[in-house]
Amino acid sequence: MLACHPAKKLSFNRSISDGDLVIVYEKHESMKAVTVCEGSVLQNRFGVFKHSDWIGKQFGSKVFSSKGGFVYLLAPTPELWTLVLNHRTQILYIADISFVITYLEVLPGCVVLESGTGSGSLTTSLARAVAPSGHVNTFDFHEQRAESARADFERTGLSSLVTVKVRDIQGEGFPDDFTGMVDSVFLDLPQPWLTIPSAAKVLRHDGTLCSFSPCIEQVQRTCETLRTRFTDIRTFEVLLRTYEVREERMQSLSEDGDGSNGSVHRKRRQCSDGSYVLSGSPSISSVMARPCGEARGHTGYLTFARVKCVS
Amino acid sequence: MNEGNSSNGRVTWEGCSVLLDINDGDRLVFARLSPAAKLKIGNKNCSLQPLIGRAFGTVFQVDTAPGGPCLSPAQVHVTNAEEIGDGQGNDEWRDKVNVNSADEVRDGAVNVESRDNRALVDNNTAQSLTGEDIEAMRRQGARGNEIIEALIANSATFEKKTAFSQEKYRLKKQKKYAPKVLMRRPVARSICEAYFKKYPSKIGFLRVDTLSLLLSMANVSSNSDILVVDMIGGLLTGAVAERLGGTGFVCNSYFGQAPYSMDIVRIFNLSDEICKRILRSPISDLLSPKESSEKILQHDVCNVEGQSNDQISASVSMVENSHSSENGISDIGIDNTEPAIEVRKAPKAGERAQKEVIDSWKENGFSSLIVAAPELDTWTVVKDLLPLLANSAPFAIYHQYLQPLATCMHNLQLGKMAIGLQISEPWLREYQVLPSRTHPCMQMSAFGGYILSGTKICSTANSATPTD
Ligand SMILES: C[S@@+](CC[C@H](N)C(=O)[O-])C[C@H]1O[C@@H](n2cnc3c(N)ncnc32)[C@H](O)[C@@H]1O
């Protein structure tokens, strides 16, 4: 997914080979991660797609099934991965993820600790942000989840940037060998306040922390605990509203051609009921946008803080 | 050199750029540290010398030294929970700054608080210390906190105030008599927030969450080549370069002859390695076909001209910047900074892209595109630039208005040029979190702009016959 060595410059123009991870795009919100394998096929409602037909095609190509249906093959990115990964837990989505990365000031070379790993949705973006020289250490106390996450990072090519460990972070805190070594800590845990003292210990000077919690009671306790060793404590909620765009034709009712689209020539006839109908080019078409009717109303609160600087 | 934007750049050095946050955001000043640089706080001119070699995140206060006012690190309490309530800590105040008086009344009701403000009469006689008394204390070397304590001791009404009003009183006095200067690291987050707060038009009203989304949606990652159209002062270019960390390239492209200003890039502490990765190129150079050198001969002439303009305008703006306070917030390169030093110290980002690198972009395609060009027609820009991207490359287009993005999205759909098209509008709400007084902040930014995002696909011809 990432190019960690300058020699393997990130260039999507390269063509698809056997063993590559591709994102199969049917339509928006309907995508699937597939590892290309010479002899296998992908079957969906558009028909049967032979992987062998994909090999040698460029990422971004449209490919056809036996029935003539088609899908697009995209190169994986952390954003696409978040949309296709296996949900083993609740996950973070792009609005929260992108804000967390910027607000924690995660930059190339940074060392980041995360717990819990969950489904690795955030981890994937953290890995991109610390690349090529930094590292993400992510902890989950759930053995199987950690194992699946490890397998995912192998599959997405991030294993050199991410280490997954099994550990009860609320109970034991972060390992002592990280003391004073860490640039940022991210917590997505049920009782994050239990981990704050340990986070303060591992963070270096001016290091940043973020805790994600769905409930305000969690935030309240976290903030109370943070005040001892942290400063610049701020809590946010981030949401996204998406828009539908459509070209619509609307009847023009204006009597003469002084309407907004002066170029549209219109002739009118009066009907028996007195209303005007437009003939010739009776309607005006324009591109319009409106918010989509449904949206995620709440994900969680993001609380950020910075270790107090003791000079 | 230990400078630069590596994760290690946590201690300042001479020539380093810093963001100074005076009294919890009342004033935000970008400064370049030098022994000669001075900053006026209240009526005192303070040298910035004491800030050199200090950790980012340090809070300074103004002390009266024999040689005049002087900035020195304020004591920081690593408090235990009980001490917090006394208001001596540093940033607990931040949470309370946003609180207005309407708040106070309602919040007060929730609290277990025996006092209320029914007996308070504000007749300006409550304070028995006069201005002269305070000056006299100062001359005798009293520190700001001591003055505040004296003001409280001499206030007839302080004891009668609710705990909440007492905090507010303290905060007001602290700002006046014991101003605090917090030294922050200038990174995408702090720079964007500072401009958004004090000078949003300069950055096209791009809010920090929106900037974050642009960077994610365009998959800005190490070793990639990112094409940007940045008409928001260089914030976008700087933020992308920061994420590339000295790998790949950010190509700051422009229509016509004159490059767009990238003053803000210099506020980031980008290492030389990172600055080298910021290149500028006129879009005509990027669009001209790779082989036919004759055809671009004509262009070449203008380009040479463009280049010299570029260099001149760049150096002019640097010098200008170092004296002007045009910037409202970027009191950048403060009064006493020598322009000459400034120019030498400032990293040279934004060299003109040479033929070889342009050729490699033409050959491989850019890995993504980000546009923040409020003044250009969105569709024209996207139509011209999309072909420069590699297939499957993501892009993110920012605009303050919805309509240009809607039109652009519609055209991209009709032209089957991209998939996964989406217009999003981010929404960001901050909360005050305090015991029994948690609620959304009274003020919020109601609008952070719109983003059109999507992924470029192979044109139909291409997918039938892959070019390689
Ligand atoms: C909601 S998920 C995290 C999702 C993740 N942020 C993502 O984007 O995919 C929370 C995870 O925390 C883990 N967890 C809960 N308590 C823990 C503890 N005490 N120590 C370590 N991990 C814990 C759970 O096993 C779960 O996988």
ipTM of this complex prediction, to 2 decimal places:
0.91
Q: If 0-12 CB within 10 Å is exposed, 13-18 middle and 19+ buried, where does residue B174 land?
A: buried
Contact between B58 and A309 using a beta-carbon 8 Å cutoff: yes
Nearest alpha carbon, ligand 1 atom 27: A118
DSSP result, A125-153: HHHHHHTTT-EEEEEES-HHHHHHHHHHH
Specify the pLDDT at position B178. 83
Specify the pLDDT at position A270. 60
pTM: 0.85
As a whole number, mean pLDDT of residues A237-264 equals 75
B-chain residues near A245 (CB < 8 A): 406, 409-410, 413, 423
Task: Give the C-alpha separation, B77 to B305, whole Å.
Answer: 58
Q: Is the peptide bond before A132 cis (omega within 30 degrees of 0)?
A: yes
Closest chain B residue to the Cα of A71, Cα to Cα:
B419
Specify the pLDDT at position A244. 94
Q: Which among A4, A77, A306 is the nearest to B394, CB-wise?
A: A77
The answer to the question of whether A56 is labelled as a binding residue is: no
A-chain residues near B455 (CB < 8 A): 25, 60, 74
- Tell how far CA B454 is from the center of its chain: 26
The answer to the question of whether A188 is labelled as a binding residue is: yes
Contact between B427 and A241 using a beta-carbon 8 Å cutoff: yes
Contact between B222 and A228 using a beta-carbon 8 Å cutoff: no
Task: Give the C-alpha separation, B154 to B44, whole Å.
Answer: 26
Top-confidence residue, A272 or A123: A123
Specify the pLDDT at position B171. 84
- Give A152-187 pLDDT, tens digit per residue: 999 999 999 999 999 999 999 999 999 999 999 999
- Give B350-359 pLDDT, tens digit per residue: 999 999 999 9
DSSP classification of residue A178 = G
pLDDT exceeding 70 applies to what percent of chain A?
A: 86
Q: Cα–Cα–Cα angle for A95, A193, A200, nearest 5°?
A: 90
Q: How far is CA B467 from CA A59, B364, B459, in A?
A: 12, 11, 11
Specify the pLDDT at position B113. 58
A-chain residues near B410 (CB < 8 A): 245, 247, 287
Domains of chain B and any CATH numbers: 17-183 (no CATH), 191-456 (3.40.50.150)
Specify the pLDDT at position B122. 61
Report residue B368: phi and psi, to 5°: -170, 170
Give the model's confidence band at A28: pLDDT under 50 very low, under 70 low, under 90 confident, else very high.
confident
Any atom of ligand 1 within 6 Å of the Cβ of A186: no
- Give A40-52 pLDDT, tens digit per residue: 999 999 999 999 9
* Distance from the A87 Cα atom to the nearest Cα atom in chain B, whole angstroms: 21
Task: Give the C-alpha separation, A33 to A10, whole Å.
Answer: 19
Q: Quick check: A237 contacting B, CB < 8 Å?
A: yes
The answer to the question of whether A168 is labelled as a binding residue is: yes
Q: Which among A4, A28, A306 is the nearest to B57, CB-wise?
A: A306
CB-based burial, B53-63: b 16+ in 10 Å, e otherwise: ebbbbbbbbbb
Residues 6+ apart with CB under 8 A from B222: A2, A3, A4, A108, A128, A131, A132, B243, B244, B245, B247, B248
Any atom of ligand 1 within 6 Å of the Cβ of A210: no
Strand partners, A164: A138
DSSP result, A180-240: T-EEEEEE--SSGGGGHHHHHHHEEEEEEEEEEESSHHHHHHHHHHHHHHEEEEEEEEEEE
Q: Is the pLDDT of residue A267 over 70?
A: no
- CB–CB of B275/B247 below 8 Å? no
- Weakest mean pLDDT among A111-125, A215-229, B319-333: B319-333
DSSP classification of residue B114 = S
Q: In angstroms, what is the C-alpha Rg of chain A?
A: 26
Task: Give the C-alpha separation, A166 to B313, whole Å.
Answer: 56
A-chain residues near B394 (CB < 8 A): 77, 79
Specify the pLDDT at position B323. 34
Contact between B433 and A223 using a beta-carbon 8 Å cutoff: yes
Domains of chain A and any CATH numbers: 6-76 (3.10.330.20), 80-239+297-307 (3.40.50.150)
* Distance from the A29 Cα atom to the nearest Cα atom in chain B, whole angstroms: 8
Any atom of ligand 1 within 6 Å of the Cβ of A225: no
Nearest alpha carbon, ligand 1 atom 5: A118
- CB–CB of B226/B203 below 8 Å? no
Q: Which residues of chain B have pLDDT under 50?
A: 1-7, 79-111, 292-346, 461-468
